[in-house]
Structure 1
């Protein structure tokens, strides 16, 4: 039984056995899905049910053999079971479905997947079976309108009636409804193809791949045709995809060929992807592209494009003792990145001009070592990149000058680690003879797992800087970095001087040693000391701190605290001196270790005097009648002005 939603439901049940049975209707009842119908949705009976029939439906007695169930407006339902009982025994069954007439569909969408299942939609909820019939009509061939004009008619029908809706579409997704159904956000009928089939590589070069593929079979009869798009990615590109091209001509061809050119890397793996979409698709709609077909291929090898990079000063010359004829020479270069090696079996080749038989005792990825090389004459070194295909067409050159022309190396080269990849480098200017003119310095750095004197195995980088004796370098990350410097003229260089250790930025590396009283006269004394430092810092001296105080005991060397007044002559005093430095990056000042001496017999006040350097070494006055005169780089003369 099918009931339209909104109409009442009436079910009658009659008991007729052919033999008269008085009041048979008193033994009849209805039950719905094993549940009692709620009183508010049924017609109340003329008589009350007895306790035996309390779980049965209440009914209206029509006559002695018939009862009736009435519901004004049953809910929508796919199937409810109504059972007529005679003394709790089923005598008849009725399945009831409550639904509506055909309703307007939702999200009508004509995207065709590979030219199949052209249109789709979501039917509205209806428990009455509804049939849908979709037809389409091509444009009138006698018309001059565009070829991509269609009429779609959707007919919906069930037992309560039928409705039809017709949609008309035009190019570029402009749609309009012809019938009275109000649908919004209609999608332009678009074919979404399957991926290309049989994607294969026909041939390769070191910079190109020639491809072939076919259209899916069902798309080969698609009248508008399809466009093709190519993307690619090399093994060195991470997750970055590059656009290879788009084919829009001859859109109905069943088989396509494409030469993917201008590939950057030889002997590299490439992932190539090809996708399709309808030639009538909306240009800016990415969703109209099909899933991709892909192929992975390695480009052909070729000789390296370039030799390793070198720079003036990229060598280290070591000679030992008084031997000025032979020495060890290290020739350094910058490693070729893997993506530029262009082939298997990559290596470097180095030879000495005018002496090709001379071979290095050690050859690595970033340097070559030559033993017992004569330093009485200059040497020209040629360096190539090489793989299984051969040598690079170009070569790099490094010239190692003779001992006579060699520039003196900078002095006291040091590096300080400030953390976060920041380093400060400093050195002293080398002595340059009159026939040489210093023009620049080259700073080298290289990451390794160990400090000097171990040779660095990482990639060497460099930077040329003007004539200064201090610079800062920032690297990409924290780690162990070795640094070197070379001094360069227009035609020669000192070669590389490596920093022997790494300084700590917040530690004072200067120490006062051998503090002495050199002169002791009436009202004054002279202090002298030796300034010691290690080779691992670049801190700048900004002054010295001099403490002095009266000593209680020559044994304990302890000082009396507080102010000293009413002093007498012939008193023993202790002096301490410390050096004050300034952090060149942060500007903070720290005081280093102290040294002391005590043999001065004279009346002095307990006082802290800060003695700073003066540019002209002239007279400089300090509080509390302390006056300092610079007499030498290793000492200060301190006088007490007696104004009494």
Structure 2
């Protein structure tokens, strides 16, 4: 919500303003445009949240439509809504000042317009004539990202992703990482491409540069945000081995079936044979006449072999891939 806080300009500011107004009489709102005045400053305005917004609108009385008008005929609109009068101050005959003490974080268009009295309107003439406009961005220093997540698929690649917080000024984030220990801390590695700046993720495998480094249990990430209001860094300690998703087993086959047991054979996914914490595989099964939501669990096992026997099975009808 806006807070009105119009304060008289200091003498030195008034002198500078008079110089600016004199210069404004020779300028237009934009190249090739003929309008009855200008706004100061010109163009886009970027301010940090908590700082005030100040825009001057200055009439150019050499333009016919403004010849008999004054600052009292000037209004401001924020997007499509008229700015309340408590945010405006008439400086002199040709200049009005808009001042908002703490505008909310936003991206808005501010329009200065010249109002023609209703009794002076000609047929088909609009009451409001555009003087000039500014696009105003109110943003913050870089903030912590949301949902920073890293996942390794089958211990063969690694993807880190995150969500940028809302900010109305352009903010880019850069990801770097290092490894534990004195030697690991001396070197820092980045994203193989600029996807950390453009798409909020990084991907590594054995063909990227830098490549995916398998044998480290922990990564230390540093995500740095940068915009025109400053820089900020955020650290994340990532437990690598705790975020590896193995691929489903392959070459599943059934053999050695008897009236009360069956022997299952499968292959462990490539790369997972040497995964340091080991691979836990779990077998679930369902009898032919069980309801679909009932599954029986075999033992959870850490295996080096490739087969496992299920005892006391009457009818084996389905077995999803173990993970």
> TM-score, length-normalised on structure 2?
0.57
Match of 1:34 in 2: 80
State the number of aligned residues.
229
Match of 2:269 in 1: 215
Residues 141 and 8 of structure 1, relative CA distance in 2, 3 Å threshold: closer
State whether residues 111 and 190 of structure 1, in contact with CA within 8 Å, keep that contact through their aligned partners in structure 2. no
State whether residues 24 and 65 of structure 1, in contact with CA within 8 Å, keep that contact through their aligned partners in structure 2. yes
Match of 1:95 in 2: 135
Deviation at 1:69, TM superposition (A): 0.9
Deviation at 1:153, TM superposition (A): 0.7
Equivalent of 1:62 in 76, 80, 91: 91
Deviation at 1:245, TM superposition (A): 4.6
Equivalent of 1:227 in 275, 279, 284: 279
Superposition pairs of residues 132-171 of structure 1, within 5 angstroms: 132-139=173-180, 147-168=216-237
- Taking the aligned partners of 1:71 and 1:155, their CA distance within structure 2 comes to 31
Deviation at 1:155, TM superposition (A): 0.9
State whether residues 112 and 190 of structure 1, in contact with CA within 8 Å, keep that contact through their aligned partners in structure 2. no
Residues 272 and 260 of structure 1, relative CA distance in 2, 3 Å threshold: farther
State whether residues 97 and 127 of structure 1, in contact with CA within 8 Å, keep that contact through their aligned partners in structure 2. yes
User: Greater helix share, 1 or 2?
Assistant: 2
Match of 1:4 in 2: 48
Q: Does the alignment pair 1:264 with 2:312? A: yes
Q: 1:494-518 CA deviation, whole Å, 9 max, x = no partner?
A: xxxxxxxxxxxxxxxxxxxxxxxxx
SS at match of 2:242: strand
State whether residues 75 and 82 of structure 2, in contact with CA within 8 Å, keep that contact through their aligned partners in structure 1. no
State whether residues 246 and 272 of structure 2, in contact with CA within 8 Å, keep that contact through their aligned partners in structure 1. no
Unaligned runs of 5+ in 2: 1-44, 116-127, 185-214
State whether residues 102 and 163 of structure 1, in contact with CA within 8 Å, keep that contact through their aligned partners in structure 2. yes
- Taking the aligned partners of 2:285 and 2:273, their CA distance within structure 1 comes to 32
- Taking the aligned partners of 1:11 and 1:139, their CA distance within structure 2 comes to 52
- Taking the aligned partners of 1:135 and 1:223, their CA distance within structure 2 comes to 25
Deviation at 1:9, TM superposition (A): 0.5
Higher relative contact order (CA 8 A, sep 6+): 2
State whether residues 200 and 213 of structure 1, in contact with CA within 8 Å, keep that contact through their aligned partners in structure 2. yes
- Taking the aligned partners of 1:38 and 1:137, their CA distance within structure 2 comes to 54
Equivalent of 1:104 in 127, 144, 147: 144
SS at match of 2:279: strand
SS at match of 2:306: strand
Report the structure number with the largest CA radius of gyration: 1
State whether residues 25 and 67 of structure 1, in contact with CA within 8 Å, keep that contact through their aligned partners in structure 2. yes
Superposition pairs of residues 500-515 of structure 1, within 5 angstroms: none
